[in-house]
Structure 1
């Protein structure tokens, strides 16, 4: 029996307050309104940004909230005026929308759609939400909220993907993989034969390594204090792995010696503001490019010596790998199906929705 136009009752992982575990609750998901899409979720990855946000008091004003922002599913129904997807389509959720009309979307040099800058919240088109639980409005993290059996999102935040795509695998392309891979390919523009240093070997850091390798880098040095991650880093393309604690001198001096003056490209993927200065100092003093990939809280100040800029170094940020999401994320899914890159090393556990807190703890423990 069709559910179009009806309220759907289903399960979701709801965060009632920052720092607390999520509860599996029954929610009510209203039909989509104009320019909105209701999606039956199939799979969702867990991103480090989810974990950081869950513990931040800044999120309290939006609780209760459904977390998660990298997911895949099947369109259940669409609202009036939706033209890019239809019921039955396989889709990927876009945590960074692309309206296709604002100055940024029409400019090739940036990918941060005005919808993100204007709202900056966890709300839908009307500053509200289509989801309720126990009589309360439930917000959706980054206006997505993929830890749910059904969600309602804007049309500009969803894209159709190939019918043959494995939803349980390609969900991580929606954020983690696209962010790291694009940081190397789009933001840094890694060149063939170059040297790279990647600080932080989580899923995004490994995706950076995959991007550096795809771009033809000659040496890719992976840096982390968790040596358990070294084997996987080498599997995806790292040529060397080092732990800063194994050296008496600062890691930037170690890399300076290893790479004859520093790396051509450095990537900060830990989200640690102190590591930004280290990564920048690890770049070649004449032409090195350092890209901040890790998520750093908006109120945190980065302390960098001005001396590092009396050189040819460049420091830049990267948001979701620089991709124009609605246009380009589906192409990454197609590339995955064509085996242009392998996502298998980035997926370590597959758990059901009711195990979401266990999954969060695995990430916190570095056991992903």
Structure 2
């Protein structure tokens, strides 16, 4: 079928709307008509070159919609199901999946290649194969994906809201609850409160943190963070260090979550300085692939018994965690409607990312229907 898609041709270039040819689903694939796609900073890393761009690609990896066709061997979902897409496959068979670590599924190695694990493509432009980011390509109203990358949800959940669970919400909440293991009464610092950081604030609140400090240079996002659970805010890490020192009488934060748009090495030492003895510092942000150094006091790190934790996708198991997050949304504990600051058409995708960079959105979204 012919569909419009936002195609990224190269580093530093804007997205261009093109008509592409989308294949029908193969044996274990499904065709999804999307309702919405979130605008996640991970897609922007392709534009800036922080993450390698292997060639022309349909980006987008945070979406939800309705299954309109299924391959002959699909067993996980059926036609008409409402589904959330997720960027990390869960094959259910590799070492990581069978030990409860689906976020590390071996099939995730193909996320940045643009092609399926068997080396084939489902999208074509002007007679040539074209890739899809994380094999999803949600910057198009229709997408053909593996059944290992969809999770069915109840039909009463608004799909434009469910789309955010596909990546940013799951990553941020998981950073706080599963990786940082925030406990009731903890002091938590969240550095960067865009979509993922705001979700981390909510995760810390849901986990029972008594003090949540949002660190964000933009006044708009700092103010909005309070609506999602932040008890205090600071415009810089330097300002936050003094604030946290005062709030904790010098003990510092039990958990520090780094959720900035782009991670750089100098931030790590600052974040660890915010972390208490025996505390946990969690790296959620993507750093440029070529950046390999960080400034850290190894003496303080070791002698203060601090822990540095990295993770992919909030250590999520989508088949189970999506259900939990949907239930938290239904209960009112997880606020998702309020996160969608502005909706854009597919043709406005470059405006949407400009708003993200300007800090005028918590989460922007492409709305298809």
**Structure 1 length as normaliser, TM-score?**
0.92
Report what 2:347 is aligned to.
Answer: 354
- In the TM superposition, what is the alpha-carbon distance from 1:118 to its structure 2 partner? 6.1
Distance 2:190 2:111 in 1: 32
Alignment partner, residue 4 of structure 1? none
Partner of 2:244: 255
CA distance in 2, matches of 1:137, 1:118: 16
- Over 3 Å counting, the alpha-carbon distance change for 1:109 and 1:257 in structure 2 is farther
Alpha-carbon deviation of 1:244? 2.6
CA contact (8 A) 2:70 2:79 kept: yes
Q: Give the superposition deviation at 1:101.
A: 1.1
Structure 1 partner of 2:138 = 146
Decide whether aligned partners of structure 1 residues 42 and 211 sit closer, same or farther in structure 2, where only a CA change above 3 A counts.
same
| Aligned residue in 1 for 2:171 | 179
2:152 counterpart residue number? 160
Q: Contact 2:191–2:237 at 8 Å: present in 1 too?
A: no
Secondary structure class of the residue paired with 1:84: coil
For structure 2, list consecutive stretches of 5 or more residues without a partner in the other structure. 362-369
Matches within 5 A, 1:45-194: 45-56=38-49, 59-63=52-56, 65-108=57-100, 111-117=103-109, 120-194=112-186
Alpha-carbon contact 1:276-1:302 (below 8 Å) kept: no
RMSD: 1.8
Paired positions, count: 356
The answer on 1:336 being equivalent to 2:333 is: no
Segment drifting more, 300-309 vs 12-21? 300-309
Alignment of 1:217-366 (within 5 A): 217-244=209-236, 247=239, 251-252=240-241, 254-260=243-249, 261-270=251-260, 271-273=262-264, 274-285=266-277, 287-303=278-294, 304-307=296-299, 308-366=301-359
User: Secondary structure at 2:281's aligned position in 1?
Assistant: strand
C-alpha offsets along residues 278-307 of structure 1, whole Å, 9 cap, x if unaligned?
A: 11121102x111111112223322412212
C-alpha separation in 1, matches of 2:237 and 2:69: 53
C-alpha deviation, 1:186, in angstroms: 0.8
> Partners of 1:118 and 1:49 in 2: how far apart?
15
2: distance between equivalents of 1:125 and 1:75? Answer: 22
Q: More displaced, 108-117 or 81-90?
A: 108-117
Please give the residue correspondences for 1:188-207 in structure 2 after superposition, counting only pairs within 5 Å.
188-207=180-199
5+ residue gaps, structure 1: 1-7
* Matched-pair contact (CA < 8 Å) for 1:256–1:284: no
CA contact (8 A) 2:54 2:114 kept: no
Tell me, yes or no, if the aligned pair for 1:125 and 1:154 is still in contact at 8 Å: no
Structure 2 residue matching 1:111: 3-state secondary structure? helix
Per the normalisation by structure 2, the TM-score is: 0.91
- Counterpart in the other structure of 2:366: none
